[in-house]
A and B are shown apart, each in its own frame.
Chain A
């Protein structure tokens, strides 16, 4: 028998299974000093201890049996989990728009393996139709799996590949693009795609889920429905993030790719537009624009794809008592660009200055953003700010730190001339910096205040 026959087991548990010739998926009766257990041996999580064997009992529950008590394992058969997803042909309707769904790794729709709890992604149009049949109300769907990586593993290679794939699809005349993506770094990808893919004639909609799609309460299906509707029907030809507006299953929001950020580790309504308002609201039935200044859908195919990225770029999140060695080590390691998330209006302490001076001398591009997320960098207000300007630190207005990071990588991917980099950085492409912050761009209501509570009691959160 091979290692995969004892998946996840090690040490004492592994030798017990081997002793009794009982690989995973065996239908067994385990005799112990305490009593008998009947069930199917399941694979074990690699991070779990080596003292227990996991079985699924006939009633569906799992338990772990301590190996030290096991006296015998009797094998009655074998029941291996089946990983196939049922497919139903996605209906074709000539009158409906053509939407392309790219997969990058997050699971938007999936089937659950009840034996192991493994989530098996549904991805082909047939599989998706099997689990979210409503999609056929909006479009003819095509799918293509670009990557199979966890959200946090998305990086320059995947960004470039995705940008190229989008360009190719637009060339082929698609009516809208949806990109399934893990949510953790969705806003990084949304920002870089906003720079790499410009002048798109069609909507490019990023979507994911905060509750996995194997759960009845998942936001995945509704998010996907909203995203597909947007790609198929909306006249907004921008890179957007489409995720829940409130935590209730009511509507989604379409956020501009350069101004959106994940703001809660687990809430459904985690994505928010920062320092501005979202582009539109989307429900199953309608798309309601919240602003007029978005780029409109066009009939042409004149998309500009510029897929470059300099990887030697990093973000430094300033904290009190930061030592210059942090920045020094980046310089020594050959970093070409550094984005600082400074305090308040964009500050770091004086002991860091010598490192900033060294960066300037070595030709490292240093940009300042604010860790407050809302508001502008303003380095003229205080003396310290002005000193940093002299050290070559470039303020990034109200660009979000993560957006500044991907934009700097993209700019340095095009040129190493720091003047040209500065020009690219400071010329807004699609709202990553704005000339003005509207008064409703910063709304974090404070719970506990009577007027806020009144509002919350009236509208479904």
Chain B
């Protein structure tokens, strides 16, 4: 193994990532903007914390192909969770409750998905087969997600290369978790069943920054259709990370793209450090085969401890157990991620699998923190026949959970001598990640017998292709040529007004910068004033740009007209300012000149500015400053 040691995040270079063999790919989940859910006719996109009723279910693993229970399945069954679903009548019907079979797939959703697949240069499948993908965590009441591959083998351009789009699926969204405490996990069902697409890229990104950049690209691409949901939770990404000699680890549910670099850095570091930990264990002669541990009940030994969590455990009549890990001294304090140590890997497993959710849920003899006294450690050590080379891990809880916990501690410690366990991990807000579940096996997919295969006809594809937006990167190239300001290029390229912009500039010969400002900057300004820019329709914007072209509105006039249109919900010709004729402008200028004379005498240059201001106050809605300035100038010359 290479002797590389991870540097702090800011100091890592692309060369460093090359040394550890950093590789990463994305699985991007994006909700589609539809009226209804994917397999039932409930409204989509209505969220509420309120609920009318609850139902309770359990998830039971089903036997897989080989007659074995899948790793995840077994883990979830060990946890024996009671799953509680909160149900609000407006957003949930008997389909989501798994009491009614699915209705046929929502065609509006499928059309949007196919369009996005085409933009990703994918091959659209000829016949759609709905599959069931098992999830035993309860996040979907059926125990599986209905999902179908609709596109394969695409790509998007990035830097000087292509990023592969391996596959795209259309699927139903899962529940929102409310809480997960002890043996109870509670979900809200409003999001359940909403249509989303999952886009899987190849493991083509070589640094954490690249992962975020590619994600931004993908996000811009889907938004350029105008058919996807925006806002918190509408797009979520899973990030796959591996290093040389490591394992492909999936970090689930990354809510924001800017978090990605730090998260992937920490995961790469975790894998690298776990590989180094394995090396250390092997040096100590500890392998999968020589690994030794034992478990002792120490409830009686430690019943007078002053350590609060143990006092409370004793008051509740809990069991306290100690696991001895032979030869592991100091290794629970082995760093895995930033400010995170191997003990966290163990604590996470205990929390998730044994349902001991109150933290701390373990203490150990490698800990530098204050827990029990050294006399107490000595006593336990003696009782458990442990030596100075061993590490002791103490865990407490009800009898069944505690014995599950001891087994998990041993499993995880032993895995350290084998390598990096296949897990899915959850993104944490500090940029580290925690254990979520054992990675599900490939055997968790099977056909949905409730729904027939669906042919995707040529006619359908042709119709969708005819209305496909241009690739946003093509638009961006053109905008650059036009000299559109840098910060306006991307928003304009993915805006729903991008086609209108093309028409305005290409067809009506409108000044590109004026059009770009009207389309991108004015709505932003209106948002700051408390208006909802989403309500600006293509019709409104079209009318405003055409009136600008006709000379009936100035640039400023476009802003005012847009604001008024929003206030009225529609553009009306009556919202246009009364036109100002050339003669009228001249008389206004003359009038203002008189006013100016009454003011304090000013220097020539300032005079001009004040005059300009006085005139513009009257006419700025109709006439550009440039025109007014020219007029004033020409009048001087007369």
Contacts and interface: CB of A to CB of B under 8 A. Distances in A.
B58 A249 contact: yes
| Residue of B58, B67, B169, B447 most packed against chain A (CB within 10 A) | B447
Interface-central residue, A54, A112, A130, by most chain B CB under 10 Å: A112
Given A111-B62, A216-B134, A52 B143 contact: no
Nearest to A456: B53
Nearest to B152: A35
B131 interface: yes
A108 B64 CA distance: 17
Contacts of A250: 56
B455 A266 contact: no
B574 interface: no
Q: Which of B127, B131, B132, B167 has most A Cβ within 10 Å?
A: B127
A60 B52 contact: no
B103 to A, nearest CB: 12
B98 A217 contact: yes
B462 to A, nearest CB: 14
Given A247-B97, A249-B57, A457-B53, A114 B127 contact: no
B126 A52 contact: yes
Contact of B455 (A37, A61, A64): A64
B157 interface: no
B134 A113 contact: no
Contact of A216 (B144, B152, B449, B455): B144
B129 A62 contact: yes
Given A266-B94, A266-B101, A215 B131 contact: no
Interface string A19-47: 00000000000000011110000000101
B99 A63 contact: no
B447 A116 contact: yes
Contacts of B148: 61
A114 B125 contact: no
Given A61-B445, A69-B126, A216-B60, A460 B55 contact: yes
Contacts of A115: 65
A415 interface: no
Interface in B61-99: 61-65, 67-68, 73, 84, 94, 97-99
A126 B44 CA distance: 46
B67 A84 contact: yes
A86 B127 contact: no
Contact of B449 (A57, A117, A130): A117
Interface in B444-478: 444-449, 452-453, 455
Interface in A212-234: 213-218, 221-222
Contact of A112 (B128, B141, B446, B455): B446
A64 B126 contact: yes
A60 B444 contact: yes
A60 to B, nearest CB: 3
Contacts of B58: 222, 249
| Interface majority SS (helix, strand, loop, mixed), chain A | loop
Given A117-B447, A217-B59, A267-B94, A64 B453 contact: yes
Contacts of B127: 52, 54, 63-66
Contacts of A457: 52-54
Contacts of B62: 111-112, 131, 213-216, 218
Given A48-B452, A54-B453, A215 B149 contact: no
Interface string B111-139: 00000000000010111110111111000
A62 B131 contact: yes
29 contacts: A35-B152, A36-B153, A57-B149, A59-B167, A61-B147, A61-B167, A62-B131, A63-B126, A63-B127, A64-B128, A64-B453, A64-B455, A86-B67, A111-B62, A111-B63, A114-B443, A116-B447, A213-B62, A215-B143, A215-B144, A216-B73, A216-B134, A218-B60, A247-B55, A247-B99, A266-B101, A267-B94, A456-B53, A457-B52
Closest 8 CB pairs of A and B: A64-B127, A216-B143, A60-B445, A86-B67, A117-B447, A66-B126, A62-B129, A248-B56
Interface of B: 52-65, 67-68, 73, 84, 94, 97-101, 123, 125-129, 131-136, 141-144, 147-149, 152-153, 167, 169, 442-449, 452-453, 455
Given A66-B127, A130-B63, A214-B62, 19 more contacts: A45-B453, A48-B453, A52-B455, A54-B453, A59-B149, A60-B131, A61-B129, A61-B147, A61-B445, A86-B68, A112-B62, A112-B63, A114-B64, A116-B447, A117-B447, A216-B73, A222-B58, A266-B100, A456-B53
Interface of A: 34-37, 45, 47-49, 51-52, 54, 57-66, 69, 81-82, 84-86, 111-117, 119, 130-131, 210-211, 213-218, 221-222, 246-250, 264-268, 453, 456-457, 460-461
